[in-house]
Chains A and B, each alone.
Chain A
Amino acid sequence: MSKLTPPLPKFLRPAPPRPSEKERSSDNGEPNGKPGRADKLRESAGEGGAQVVGWLDERTGASPFLRGALYRKVPKGTNWFYTLGSATMFAFVSQAVTGVFLAMYYNPDATRAYESASHITNEVFLGELVRGMHKWGSTVMIVLLFLHMARTFVFGAYKYPRELNWVIGVVLLVLTLAMGLTGYLLPFDQRSYWATIVAVNLNASAPLIGPFLADFLRGGGEFSATTITRFYALHMLLIPGLIAALIGAHLYLVAKLGTTAPPWLRAEKKELTKEEI
């Protein structure tokens, strides 16, 4: 009796029958035809995964949601440009992961920041690589973000009913740029110091609210020890949290509304026959 077996590791796979045992009812079974221990093991191993998934699903009811998100219908003509959003998200995840590891060595104290950053680059094992990934990755994320935005704009994906997703996207854009601004100060070298002074003073040039905005960013009237801790807290707690939450909302809407078809696809019109007219 041949049964469909799931892909099992070799030691669980039924051994082919020896020439003298052709008449055995089940592989590796006992001579009387009852299933043996190996049979039972094989069976439960094959179903183990399904059982775990089943256990979880029974207790969360997640499968309809996941099915809706993962097996949703996609219009004809979707192409590589539709992967730019996911690419941006991947860049964000990469920034989050490398950032967490940088935080293990980085010290946001105004007198220690520069030293700890150069310690990461020069002494920590693979530090140069991780810091480099975070630094260049920030540029990559912003480039991908603009490409993704261009895709949704050129394809008209911002139109009804996806306006809200465009609005969420704009907030994500601003938050991502704010990540760039707050992160730029952290190496605390001459370039980041003066660039941040200029950036904060640019904020100060806004009419009416400018002076208050600049004081809020600096944590006072002068660039001080609070400025760098403030930027650090914004850079690694507040803004990434907001970005993660908004990416969740962004993707929920993508799954809920479906993606747009490319604009060059027209709805197929049926040619009407004479009788139908």
Chain B
Amino acid sequence: MADKQSKQTPPRKSRYTADHGMAGAFEGETVTRRRFMTGGALAAGGIASAAFALPALGFALAPMFKDATPDRWQDVGPESDFNPTTYVPRVVNTDPGVGEAGKATIYVRKFDPESDKPSPSDQGKDPIPYVVVSTRCAHLGCPVRYYQAPKRFVCPCHGGIYDFQGKVAGGPPVRPLDRFDARASNGRVEVGERFSVNSELRRFSPRDPSNHLDGLWQYLYPSRPST
């Protein structure tokens, strides 16, 4: 007999606290006051914590969504300073707020229609009239230096080498040197936003060194949310 009873499915539990014989249960009450208070206290604590934690978190993360290279054109000298056969170093400001640390060296030369193939991104448009190369090594960001005799950029840190186009000629870098927008206006050369290029010199949004832009690898390094 006892066996038979235990095998039957147990009766469904009532939703009402009164049916469980709880002391002080109300008619029609389904949540005990103790549970209600516990939940209420946890919710209040959660809301209070979120009230300071979320703004603080947003505050710390906001810069990630800021435009990495705001539009700014900087004068780097008269057009007569530059030629298609060698690079001339110039200093620009990448961040005006940090003094010397916000300055960066760039290399500037005139675009050469004979030896420079236009970038696939330029189809139908005039190519950028000046080739402006960033000195930030595409491996881990050390400053590269240009040598005229071999027409190579050389990185002091881990031996990265780039050719006259800024394409990788040896060492660990994963993509060519970054470039800058450039234009001529009133006989002066002006330098604009930085952008990254892949091995075909196709234009991409500015990336960090070490981020691949070729083959399947490029999908592992998404662009910034802001660009």
**A residues apposed to B, CB below 8 Å:** 110-111, 188, 193-194, 197-198, 200-202, 204-205, 207-208, 210-212, 214-216, 218-226, 228
A216 and B97 in contact, given A194-B142, A198-B141, A211-B208 (Cβ under 8 angstroms)? no
Partner of A201, one of B64, B94, B209, B222: B209
CA distance A210 to B207 in the complex (A): 11
Interface residues of B in 51-66 (CB under 8 A from A): 60-61, 63-64, 66
Apart from A201-B140, A216-B64, A228-B98, list 8 A-B contacts with CB within 8 A.
A188-B101, A197-B141, A198-B141, A207-B220, A210-B211, A211-B207, A220-B63, A225-B95
Return chain A residues, CB-CB under 8 Å to B68: 215, 220-222
A226 to chain B, nearest CB (A): 6
B199: interface (CB < 8 Å): no
B44: interface (CB < 8 Å): no
Interface-central residue, B141, B221, B222, by most chain A CB under 10 Å: B141
CA distance A271 to B207 in the complex (A): 72
Partner of A225, one of B60, B98, B139: B98
Using an 8 Å CB-CB cutoff, how does the interface string of B106-134 with A read, 1 for contact, 0 for none? 00000000000000000000000000000
Contact A221 B99 (CB under 8 A): no
A222 and B69 in contact, given A194-B142, A201-B140, A202-B140 (Cβ under 8 angstroms)? yes
Contact A207 B221 (CB under 8 A): yes
CA distance A96 to B107 in the complex (A): 45
Interface residues of B in 164-222 (CB under 8 A from A): 206-211, 220-222
A210 to chain B, nearest CB (A): 7
Return chain B residues, CB-CB under 8 Å to A225: 95, 97-98, 102
* A–B Cβ pairs within 8 angstroms, 11 of them: A111-B98, A194-B142, A194-B143, A197-B140, A204-B210, A208-B222, A211-B223, A218-B63, A219-B63, A221-B68, A224-B98
B41: interface (CB < 8 Å): no
A197 and B210 in contact, given A211-B221, A216-B64 (Cβ under 8 angstroms)? no
Contact B208 A210 (CB under 8 A): yes
CA distance A198 to B209 in the complex (A): 9
Interface of A is mostly: helix
Return chain A residues, CB-CB under 8 Å to B15: none
CA distance A225 to B93 in the complex (A): 13
A191 to chain B, nearest CB (A): 12
B157: interface (CB < 8 Å): yes
- Chain A residue at minimum C-beta to C-beta distance from B67: A221
- Chain A residue at minimum C-beta to C-beta distance from B101: A110
A211 and B141 in contact, given A201-B209, A223-B101 (Cβ under 8 angstroms)? no
Return chain B residues, CB-CB under 8 Å to A111: 98-99
A275 to chain B, nearest CB (A): 50
B224: interface (CB < 8 Å): yes
Return chain A residues, CB-CB under 8 Å to B226: 221
CA distance A164 to B220 in the complex (A): 34
Partner of A221, one of B60, B69, B157, B210: B69
Contact B224 A215 (CB under 8 A): yes
- Chain B residue at minimum C-beta to C-beta distance from A207: B220
Contact A198 B140 (CB under 8 A): yes
A34 to chain B, nearest CB (A): 62
Contact B98 A204 (CB under 8 A): no
B67 to chain A, nearest CB (A): 8
Contact A223 B99 (CB under 8 A): no
Return chain B residues, CB-CB under 8 Å to A223: 94-95, 98, 101-102
Contact A201 B210 (CB under 8 A): yes
Return chain B residues, CB-CB under 8 Å to A221: 66-69, 206, 224, 226
Contact A215 B63 (CB under 8 A): yes
Return chain A residues, CB-CB under 8 Å to B207: 211
A220 and B66 in contact, given A201-B210, A205-B210 (Cβ under 8 angstroms)? yes
Interface-central residue, A207, A222, A225, by most chain B CB under 10 Å: A222
Contact A222 B141 (CB under 8 A): no
Contact B61 A216 (CB under 8 A): yes
Contact A197 B211 (CB under 8 A): no
Instruction: Return the 7 tightest CB-CB contacts between A and B, nearest first.
Output: A221-B68, A205-B210, A204-B208, A110-B98, A207-B220, A111-B99, A225-B97
Return chain A residues, CB-CB under 8 Å to B97: 110, 224-225
Return chain A residues, CB-CB under 8 Å to B211: 204-205, 210-211
- Chain B residue at minimum C-beta to C-beta distance from A227: B98
CA distance A128 to B166 in the complex (A): 44
Contact A201 B224 (CB under 8 A): no
